[in-house]
Structures are given as structure tokens and as C-alpha cells.
């Protein structure tokens, strides 16, 4: 299927690894020009280098960084059609999960919201005028099933993602008539460096459950979270949904939430 993304200009945050890297790769394969936003260039992102890829090195917890990233994309490619707010998860220097509401301090809550909510709000604010100048465009905010299903774990993270889901619907309502579509993709537990890095979620879960990181990654995490597929989600599976949502082929889809979670969420 031709997603009709040739020559479209996209900004993708958190683009150096995991879901963001998969989104960046997929949009490039579909012919888009992509400003890949991350603090550093990973070897995997560097392997995608070419005339349609621009790396924008910023720390999105800096309040000025999202607008700077959008401006750099517009300067390089002449406009903006797509914004994917993918950056999220543990802020720099933080390991998740946290297993108690009492674990995060006020500073932890602030840094979590800066990274997972406020950076996206600032990027949307910067992107909207440029999208309007092109007659419309598409925004996809990557949230999490934890924003949908409260639990006694990662409470600050889930609250930030729930806030981003609310922002999505509000911005969709305001700008739908002007051609800007805004949607949410909510992944479940996904096989990203958040899980696989040394000291990451797999190691933390293994320590808490008395198992091994290999067991957690193979099936333990999926089983404990109720993923019907019995495995963690692939980053590419999330990227494919994002690519379809930013495509003009999804022209009547806005204010919607698409869950990619291996069957974790079961409520109607």
C-alpha cells in the first residue's frame, strides 16, 4: 500500500532507538523527509543517514528544545507535515519500574512530566503554525497502556501519559476543521532498550520476581502483564500503526487512540 508520504516532512522525537528509531526508518522507507530528534546519534540511526534524514541533537527536557527542533526541520526541509511525539519513558538517568506511589519524589514527578508530557505540549505548540501553513497535517502522540490502566507501579509515568492522551483529544477538537489530525498510539510493554539495557526494566523485574532477565524478556513480563500474544510488542509493530495514522489514507481519523499491546487491555 502506498501511504502517500513521499516528500512529506516529519519530526520524530526520541528517534535514536526503540520505537522512535522504527518510526524514523519506516517513514524514510515511505519517502518522507525526517528530522530525527534525540540527544545523541545511535549507530542504528547513523546507519539511516542520507539526504532525507536530519538529526537534531537536543535534550527535550530543556523547555526551549522542542521549538528549536521544529524550527530546524522547517529550515532544512521547507515546512512541516507530520509531528510524532514519541520521546518518553524514563527521563535521563532514571530506571523504571518503580513499585510504589511513595517512591518518586516531587523532583521525580517534575522530571517525568517534563519528559513525557511537557516536551510534547511544547512540540505541538511549535508545530501547529507550520502545519496550518501547509493546509493541515498530522500529529501522533505515543502514550502507553499505563495511561489507560492505573496500577501500583510507575504512577508518575502513567499520569503523564494519561495527560498526553487528554491533550491529544483537546488539540484534535480545536484544529480538526483546519486540517490538523491528532491521534494517540498507546503501546504496551515493548521490546526496547528500556527493557533490554543493563539495569533496565528486565533486570529490575527479574530481581523483584526472583527470575532471570532472559526469562523476563522471553515470557515472564508478557505473562505477568496479561499480554495474550505471550511476548513483548515489537517496535516495528508500533511504527506501522504510526505510519498509517500520519498518512493521508487516514484522513478521517482524528482524536482517536490506537492500542498496540498484545491484548493487554481487555476492558470495553
Q: Which residues are catalytic?
A: 157
SS3 of 104, please? coil
Instruction: Catalogue the E-assigned strands of the chain.
Output: 9-13, 33-38, 53-57, 82-85, 137-142, 180-187, 257-260
Helix (H) or strand (E) holding 201: helix 201-209
- The per-residue b/e assignment along 91-118, b for 16 or more CB within 10 angstroms, e otherwise, is beeeebbbeeeeebeeeeeebbbbbbbb
Residues 6+ apart with CB under 8 A from 49: none
Closest Cα to residue 173, out of 254, 235, 238? Answer: 254
C-beta separation of 16 from 40 below 8 A: yes
Amino acid at each position: 500500500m502506498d501511504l502517500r508520504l513521499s516528500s512529506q516532512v516529519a519530526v520524530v522525537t526520541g528517534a535514536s532507538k526503540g520505537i522512535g528509531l522504527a518510526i524514523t526508518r519506516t517513514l524514510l522507507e515511505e519517502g518522507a523527509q525526517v528530522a530525527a530528534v534525540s540527544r545523541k546519534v545511535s549507530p542504528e540511526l547513523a546507519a539511516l543517514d542520507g539526504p532525507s534524514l536530519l538529526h537534531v541533537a537536543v535534550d527535550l527536557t530543556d523547555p526551549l528544545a522542542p521549538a528549536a527542533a521544529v524550527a530546524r526541520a522547517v529550515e532544512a526541509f521547507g515546512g512541516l507535515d507530520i509531528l510524532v511525539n514519541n520521546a518518553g519513558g524514563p527521563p535521563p538517568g532514571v530506571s523504571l519500574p518503580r513499585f510504589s506511589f511513595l517512591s518518586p519524589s516531587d523532583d521525580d514527578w517534575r522530571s517525568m512530566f517534563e519528559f513525557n508530557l511537557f516536551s510534547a505540549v511544547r512540540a505541538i505548540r511549535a508545530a501547529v503554525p507550520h502545519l496550518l501553513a501547509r493546509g493541515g497535517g498530522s500529529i501522533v502522540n505515543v502514550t502507553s497502556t499505563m495511561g489507560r490502566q492505573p496500577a501500583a507501579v510507575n504512577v508518575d509515568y502513567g499520569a503523564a501519559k494519561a495527560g498526553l492522551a487528554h491533550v491529544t483529544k483537546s488539540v484534535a477538537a480545536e484544529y480538526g476543521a483546519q486540517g490538523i489530525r491528532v491521534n494517540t498510539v498507546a503501546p504496551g510493554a515493548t521490546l526496547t532498550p528500556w527493557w533490554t539495557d543493563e539495569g533496565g526494566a528486565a533486570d529490575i523485574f527479574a530481581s523483584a520476581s526472583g527470575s532471570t532477565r532472559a526469562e523476563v524478556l522471553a515470557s515472564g513480563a508478557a505473562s505477568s502483564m496479561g499480554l495474550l500474544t505471550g511476548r513483548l510488542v515489537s517496535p516495528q509493530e508500533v511504527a506501522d500503526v504510526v505510519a498509517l495514522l500520519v498518512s493521508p489514507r487516514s484522513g478521517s481519523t482524528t482524536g482517536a487512540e490506537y492500542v498496540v499491546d498484545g491484548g493487554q487491555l481487555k476492558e470495553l
